[in-house]
Amino acid sequence: MESDKLYRVVFYVGSGWNFVTAAGMFFLIDSLPAMLKIEMPRYPVFIYFNLMSIFFFGVFQFSVARHLRDSHSMVVILVWAKITMGCVFAYAAVAAPMPAELFSFLLPGMIIDVVFGLVYYRVLRYLRIPKLAAA
């Protein structure tokens, strides 16, 4: 059954997913290119910017979990961000072939993000239902 409590847990889990992903990649930043058989980017600032973005998506989700009923616009941003990242990844996979190791490293995360985006879309539908006042 849908409830505020359920969706708060979903947003806390989403927040944790983003925090763990950003932290893990931060500590693996020097060894990831060798693991994925790609060259280290000339300007790693773009990788750090990506990690910062992932971290702040987690901050958004944590904030939404704490203030679910007052966060409609933040949920809209999260839905757009998660779905758009999945679409851009799909386009990049087709238009700009990447090493299989890199693709297989990024694919599970993209699938998880798209699933979260779809769940967050469902949250938007749920938030439109007015909360009944306690009698």
The pLDDT tens digits for 75-114 are 999 999 999 999 999 999 999 888 888 888 889 999 999 9
Angle at 18 between CA 14 and CA 20, to 5 degrees: 115
pLDDT, tens digit, 9 for 90 and up, residues 35-56: 888 888 788 888 889 899 999 9
User: How many angstroms separate the first and last alpha carbons of the chain?
Assistant: 21
The residue count for the chain: 135
Residues 6+ apart with CB under 8 A from 32: 25
Which residue, among 51, 67, 53, 49, has the nearest Cα to 12 in the 3D structure? 67
pLDDT score at 63: 95
pLDDT for residue 66: 95
Return mean pLDDT, the chain: 88
Residue listed under structure tokens 């280290």: 40
Residue with more model confidence, 18 or 39: 18
pLDDT at 131: 62
Instruction: Please count the CA atoms within 13 angstroms of the CA of 26 that sit on its side-chain side.
Output: 13
* pTM of this structure: 0.83
pLDDT at 132: 57
DSSP notation for 55-88: HHHHHHHHHHHHTGGG-HHHHHHHHHHHHHHHHH
Query: 18 and 55 in contact (C-beta within 8 Å)?
Result: yes
Report pLDDT for 19: 95
- Contact call for residues 18 and 57 (beta carbons, < 8 A): yes
Q: With bands split at pLDDT 50, 70 and 90, how would you rate the model's confidence at 134?
A: very low
Amino acid 34: pLDDT:
85
Residues 95 and 40: their CA atoms lie apart, in Å, by: 21
